[in-house]
Amino acid sequence: MADIKKVVLAYSGGLDTSVILRWLQDTYGCEVVTFTADIGQGEELDPARRKAEAMGVREIYINDLREEFVRDFVFPMFRANTVYEGEYLLGTSIARPLIAKRLVEIADITGADAISHGATGKGNDQVRFELGAYALKPGVKIIAPWREWDLLSREKLLAYAEKHGIPIDMKHKQGGSPYSMDANLLHISYEGRHLENPSAEAEESMWRWTVSPEAAPDAAEYVELEFACGDLVAINGKKMPAHELLAELNRLGGKHGIGRLDLVENRYVGMKSRGCYETPGGAILLKAHRAIESITLDREVAHLKDDLMPRYASMIYNGYWWSPERVTLQTLIDHTQQHVNGWVRVKLYKGNVIVSGRDSKTDSLFDATIATFEDDAGASDQKDAGGFIKLNALRMRIAARKRRPLA
């Protein structure tokens, strides 16, 4: 890539991307444009700007993407009740397509020749960033330093930073944070160090958003969530923008020890990886969304969604958010949400989200006159069930008569 004159770098201001910034300048002799996304990670972003300025960066983009992130990525994913491998709510995965989108947009704005990221050659994020970039800008050039350089350890990164006068936080010099962390409005993830032994319990001091269930309040808290077309629109009667709704659910869930997960997952690149996650708001949202769907979705539509969900989850986990198959499936999912309107009441108590009520004044399919155990005044003829059962048993009765095995 000798023709690279300007590169847009996804930049956090941490050790890795600070080294990458200088490495790009030295290796490619190019101008670097930095892009820092605010997706609710809760960190001060001004230091990233000051570091970039100190390293000679003239074009610095720091974008508040919190509302777009939740509205256009998190909420569409939760309309599908998306869970990867039965447990993971995809907090890291769902942020990557938005960052990829903004990277290529900034490349177009600035006339950059390439984009760059700090994802390693062992992880999923390199795939997610690059699949997204190629889908949105087919001819884009991508520089992935971890696949090119020989700085393959933390010690080498620190030595490079010291040699080139790159400012490093004291925590790195003194041994560093014990975990590799990623945070946004949906979750915090923890990997590495102590967690690389899957038999070792995560340390209590690691968790940042949630109290332990043992330390959570002894009194349960009731919360009412309102949905419109499958999306959360209000909490306890208060309407808020999407990102504020999720932040409030995080606060409530964290207070009650909700949303912790310790998982060994199968990475797309082939290896198994152990990670811990905090997703308090997402855990509440998933439970509540399924509850409102339980009274507003037709049975077969609900079951079809459940059949498709694992495949949809894999698309997001593996980096195919911008693929035609994900977009097509999203169209189907969104169509199912037209009548997912109403409210759900949940009880939060010591790590648990317990549904205690749900209703939809306009779209409920629950008919108490038919479902009742009392006299239904002829609303349902119970004799109809006999023929229904016989018809469904017909193939088994024929097989039994012929003495043929069922499988």
Q: Is residue 199 flagged as an active site residue?
A: no
| Most confidently predicted of 132-146, 159-173, 371-385 | 132-146
Alpha-helix residue ranges (DSSP H) falling in 1-152: 15-28, 46-54, 66-69, 75-79, 96-110, 125-136
- Report the pLDDT value the prediction gives residue 175, as an integer from 0 to 100: 55
Distance CA 27, CA 1 (A): 11
Q: Tell me, yes or no, whether 76 lies in a domain.
A: no
Distance CA 56, CA 25 (A): 10
250 shares a domain with 164: no
Q: Tell me, yes or no, whether 321 lies in a domain.
A: no
What Rg, from alpha-carbon coordinates, does the chain have? Answer: 25
Q: Read off the pLDDT band of 375 (50, 70, 90).
A: confident
- Report the pLDDT value the prediction gives residue 242, as an integer from 0 to 100: 98
Q: How far is CA 11 from the centre of its chain?
A: 20
pTM of the model: 0.94
Domain containing 285 equals 183-297+339-359
Is the per-residue pLDDT at 404 higher than 80? Answer: no
Ranges 183-187, 335-339, 402-406: which has the least confidence? 402-406
- Report the pLDDT value the prediction gives residue 241, as an integer from 0 to 100: 98
The label of the residue with tokens 């855990």 reads 283
254 shares a domain with 206: yes
231 shares a domain with 101: no
In CATH, what number is assigned to the domain containing residue 239? 3.90.1260.10
Is the per-residue pLDDT at 176 higher than 80? Answer: no
Which class for 17: exposed (0-12), middle (13-18), buried (19 or more C-beta within 10 A)? buried
Task: State the helix-helix crossing angle for 125-136 and 96-110, rounded to 10 degrees.
Answer: 50
SS3 (DSSP) at 215: helix
Q: What is the mean pLDDT of residues 58-66?
A: 98
- Report the pLDDT value the prediction gives residue 167, as an integer from 0 to 100: 80
Is the per-residue pLDDT at 170 higher than 60? Answer: no
112 shares a domain with 236: no
Q: Is residue 380 flagged as an active site residue?
A: no
Domains identified in the chain, total number: 3
22 shares a domain with 140: yes
Q: What is the mean pLDDT of residues 197-218?
A: 97
134 shares a domain with 201: no
SS3 (DSSP) at 270: coil
pLDDT tens-place string over residues 287-343: 999 999 999 999 999 999 999 999 999 999 999 999 999 999 999 999 999 999 999
Per DSSP (E only), the strands in 126-198 are 141-143, 180-183, 188-191
Q: Tell me, yes or no, whether 42 lies in a domain.
A: yes
Contact 346, 354 (CB under 8 A): yes
272 shares a domain with 155: no
The label of the residue with tokens 């195919």 reads 320
Is the per-residue pLDDT at 406 higher than 90? Answer: no
142 shares a domain with 29: yes
- Report the pLDDT value the prediction gives residue 196, as an integer from 0 to 100: 93
Contact 257, 213 (CB under 8 A): yes
Q: What is the mean pLDDT of residues 380-405?
A: 90
Element (H, E) at 160: helix 154-163
- Report the pLDDT value the prediction gives residue 14, as an integer from 0 to 100: 87
Q: Tell me, yes or no, whether 328 lies in a domain.
A: no
pLDDT tens-place string over residues 19-47: 999 999 999 999 999 999 999 998 889 89
Last residue of a domain, one of 176, 200, 228: 176
SS3 (DSSP) at 62: strand
255 shares a domain with 391: no
Contact 98, 134 (CB under 8 A): no
Contact 89, 186 (CB under 8 A): yes
Q: Tell me, yes or no, whether 304 lies in a domain.
A: no
Contact 323, 312 (CB under 8 A): no
SS (H, E, C) 307-366: HHHHHHHHHHHHCCCCCHHHHHHHHHHHHHCCCCCEEEEEEEECCEEEEEEEECCCCCCC
Distance CA 141, CA 30 (A): 14
Alpha-helix residue ranges (DSSP H) falling in 5-63: 15-28, 46-54
pLDDT tens-place string over residues 348-361: 999 999 999 999 99
- Report the pLDDT value the prediction gives residue 376, as an integer from 0 to 100: 81
Residue 349: how many other CB atoms lie within 10 Å = 19
Catalytic site residue from 49, 66, 79, 96 = 96
242 shares a domain with 226: yes
Q: How far is CA 137 from the centre of its chain?
A: 23
Q: Is residue 375 flagged as an active site residue?
A: no
Q: Tell me, yes or no, whether 391 lies in a domain.
A: yes
Q: Tell me, yes or no, whether 268 lies in a domain.
A: yes
Last residue of a domain, one of 176, 199, 230: 176
Catalytic site residue from 71, 72, 180, 364 = 180
Catalytic site residue from 12, 22, 66, 125 = 125
Is the per-residue pLDDT at 136 higher than 90? Answer: yes
In CATH, what number is assigned to the domain containing residue 105? 3.40.50.620
Distance CA 276, CA 285 (A): 19
Last residue of a domain, one of 159, 176, 193: 176
282 shares a domain with 390: no
The mean predicted confidence, pLDDT, of the chain is 94
Q: Is residue 16 flagged as an active site residue?
A: yes
Residue 37: how many other CB atoms lie within 10 Å = 24
- Report the pLDDT value the prediction gives residue 91, as an integer from 0 to 100: 98
Distance CA 220, CA 80 (A): 28
222 shares a domain with 97: no
Contact 12, 183 (CB under 8 A): no
Q: What is the mean pLDDT of residues 367-379?
A: 87
Q: Tell me, yes or no, whether 315 lies in a domain.
A: no
- Report the pLDDT value the prediction gives residue 179, as an integer from 0 to 100: 81
pLDDT tens-place string over residues 232-265: 999 999 999 999 999 999 999 999 999 999 999 9
- Report the pLDDT value the prediction gives residue 194, as an integer from 0 to 100: 87
Q: How far is CA 233 from the centre of its chain?
A: 19
- Report the pLDDT value the prediction gives residue 1, as an integer from 0 to 100: 61
- Report the pLDDT value the prediction gives residue 274, as an integer from 0 to 100: 97
Is the per-residue pLDDT at 266 higher than 90? Answer: yes
**Residues contacting residue 247 through CB under 8 Å, at least 6 positions apart:** 40, 185, 281
Q: Read off the pLDDT band of 152 (50, 70, 90).
A: confident
- Report the pLDDT value the prediction gives residue 378, as an integer from 0 to 100: 84
- Report the pLDDT value the prediction gives residue 200, as an integer from 0 to 100: 96
Q: What is the mean pLDDT of residues 71-86?
A: 98
Q: Read off the pLDDT band of 154 (50, 70, 90).
A: confident
